[in-house]
Structure 1
Amino acid sequence: MGGTTLDPAQIQISSRALGEMVTEIELGDLQYSLEFTDIDQDIYRAQLQTLRASLDYEGFKPPETIDPTPSETDYIIMGKYIVRTSFAKGAFGFVCAAIDQRDGTPVAVKKIIATTSRSHGKVIQEVKTLRKLMQNSRPLVDYFSIDSKDDQGVHECFFICKPLFSKSLYAFIPPSTASMSTRLVLFTQMLQGLIWLHDRGCMHRDIKPQNILASIDPIQAVIIDFGCATWQETSYEHWVADVWSMGISALELLSTQKHTWTMMSEDIYNQVVRRMLASCRDEEAMWAFEIISGMLEMDSKKRIDKRVLEGRDITSYSGASKL
């Protein structure tokens, strides 16, 4: 029988010992056929979350993205990343959970389908922006592109983000998803990230909850998607636009309210902002709402200045960490 031999010395806690749907094993004169079966994914995810919550020590925890069985649709890119489940979809692609084969680290893979030379050029420009930002900084993203192999001119472009974030800030806006203390740490890191970008001359120009990846274990927020970014160190217009966009994202996060922001008069805009600010009576968050109020001034000339943000000791907030 053509069986599979498992070497215990090669099995690691972060790896899957049985990598196929059906595995045949010979142990001396005994022969076994091990086969994965389909299970209810909702039940599995709930049980996995319960297990993770019960492991309150600092040791190994099974990653949130681990699947109950191998999938025939799994594939390997760059010779090191096993691409697994898709958990988010956008206009131009989707985001999948993946595993770094070298050490078992969970990562996120953003796959973009570039169907025109213009869209492919935007991806290349985003790569250049990320590489420039990551000079002398810890790398957060790998990138590679599969060139067109047919007459349609289609490019498959992949961004590999480390560590894995399976949710955007948008997922943490509902009140039941995180405590106010956690939200304030995320807000602090969002401000730090914005200042860090602008100090390097990078204007993001597309800040929104969907473009901020977040996690609460550990508490961390990372700004992503630099497809619209420009390098204009003296661009006041882009600075105040980024400040306003970040203020809106923070307002929704801390007020735990989602709002559709469309064209509106200044009076209606101010009413909406005041209502959302007033909805939270948590004394712990008053300093943050004071900053957000300055970020959301309708008159851009009155909007909070970067020097004011830099002058606030936002890193002193409990749990905050510099990016």
Structure 2
Amino acid sequence: PPAGKTQQGLKEQYRLGSLLGRGGFGSVFAATRLSDGAPVAIKRVPRNRVLHWGELPDGTSAPLEIVLLAKVSTGFPGVVQLLEWLELPKDILMVLERPKRCQDLHRFIRARRFLPEEEARELFRQVLEAVRHCTSCGVLHRDIKPGNILVDLDTGQAKVIDFGCGTYLQDTAYTHFAGTRSYSPPEWTHFGRYYGKPATIWSLGILLHQMVCGEHPFRRGQNISWDHQLSLPQRLSQGGSSSLGLWGIPVLGDSSGLVGILHWQLLRRWHMSCSPPKQGVDGKVQAEL
């Protein structure tokens, strides 16, 4: 992604609009590209909040978020595209693609209370494809949740956004947590360590629960543990030829093309009310992404 434009040059190319969102790492604004009227998003991150830097293929030093985006976004529709970025004395600016009509999945679900199983299956399939693409590129997002999934309302395309908590994928355990606490896996709470792929499966399970049930499976302030019993609505199908498989977890086999995540793996990793992992967090229980 090109960098090096002056701030004045950026103002000449984009018209800034309303604030779209604000988080711990920065603010995101709607904007319009003046050359063709295309909608974009501009993310502003204060330099003093950029804790990790990396190197782009051309040798340029850049914030790790930009390096990770450069690895996963080009040519893949399921991840937001980084169009360009700018390093200023006090801020880092990222120009990102923004569908003309879009809504994050959190607001998308709230507007409907919950998603029908067919609609949830299709959106969840796209998220799985995006996560699998990221891991194949050696990137771990670490903050998969409805607020970080953008839905194009015209095409139905889901896009993973916000790699501010992302890092490089590793086979060894992580001892530092980055992301949203209510999506953290039990092994982080109990052991202070976690493995990237199983932790992602855990957050995907919570995401799916929110899609089809309309709410987070763990009430605020409730300890996330392996013996937590989930209560799922009776309206959910019980498998067979339906869109969702056993207990509402999608059956992702050869028919979906996502052979890397079988439904039994997802059940074993997420519905942990059966029993905690016998080996703790030694990495032996790994779901392939």
Distance 1:134 1:179, change over 3 A: closer
What residue number does 2:104 align with?
168
- Whole-Å separation in 2 of the counterparts to 1:165 and 1:110: 18
2:204 counterpart (227, 241, 246): 246
Aligned pairs for 1:1-323 within 5 A:
77=10, 79-114=12-47, 116=48, 118-119=50-51, 121=53, 124-134=63-73, 137=76, 140-148=81-89, 154-164=90-100, 166-174=102-110, 176=112, 179-180=115-116, 181-232=118-169, 234-235=171-172, 237-258=195-216, 259-260=218-219, 262-267=222-227, 269=228, 271=229, 274-275=230-231, 277-282=232-237, 284-287=242-245, 289-290=249-250, 291=263, 293-298=267-272, 299=276, 305-306=287-288
Distance 1:225 1:158, change over 3 A: same
Post-superposition offset of 1:126: 0.9
Q: Verify the 8 A CA contact 2:64 2:167 in the aligned structure 1.
A: no
Cα displacement string for residues 105-158 of structure 1 (whole angstroms, at most 9, x for unaligned residues): 2222222233x274484871111111122456578112323422xxxxx22423
Post-superposition offset of 1:192: 0.9
- Whole-Å separation in 2 of the counterparts to 1:193 and 1:88: 22
Cα displacement string for residues 15-35 of structure 1 (whole angstroms, at most 9, x for unaligned residues): xxxxxxxxxxxxxxxxxxxxx
Q: Verify the 8 A CA contact 1:184 1:254 in the aligned structure 2.
A: no
- Whole-Å separation in 1 of the counterparts to 2:102 and 2:111: 19
SS in 2 for 1:239: helix
SS in 1 for 2:112: helix
More helix by share: 1
Q: Verify the 8 A CA contact 1:146 1:156 in the aligned structure 2.
A: yes
Q: TM-score, with normalisation over the residues of structure 1?
A: 0.58
Q: Verify the 8 A CA contact 1:108 1:166 in the aligned structure 2.
A: no
Unaligned runs of 5+ in 1: 1-74, 149-153, 308-323
SS in 2 for 1:306: coil
Q: Verify the 8 A CA contact 1:165 1:213 in the aligned structure 2.
A: no
Q: Verify the 8 A CA contact 1:97 1:164 in the aligned structure 2.
A: no
- Whole-Å separation in 2 of the counterparts to 1:146 and 1:165: 29
Percent identity between the two aligned chains: 25
Post-superposition offset of 1:187: 0.8
Q: Verify the 8 A CA contact 2:44 2:91 in the aligned structure 1.
A: no
Determine which structure has more spread, i.e. the larger CA radius of gyration. Answer: 1
- Whole-Å separation in 2 of the counterparts to 1:213 and 1:295: 25
Q: Verify the 8 A CA contact 1:294 1:303 in the aligned structure 2.
A: no
Distance 1:178 1:159, change over 3 A: farther
- Whole-Å separation in 2 of the counterparts to 1:80 and 1:184: 39
Kindly report the root-mean-square deviation, in angstroms, between the aligned alpha carbons of the 2 structures.
3.3
Unaligned runs of 5+ in 2: 1-7, 55-61, 174-194, 251-262, 278-282
Q: Verify the 8 A CA contact 2:115 2:211 in the aligned structure 1.
A: no
**How many pairs are equivalent?**
222
Q: TM-score, with normalisation over the residues of structure 2?
A: 0.64
Q: Verify the 8 A CA contact 1:255 1:280 in the aligned structure 2.
A: no
Post-superposition offset of 1:164: 5.0
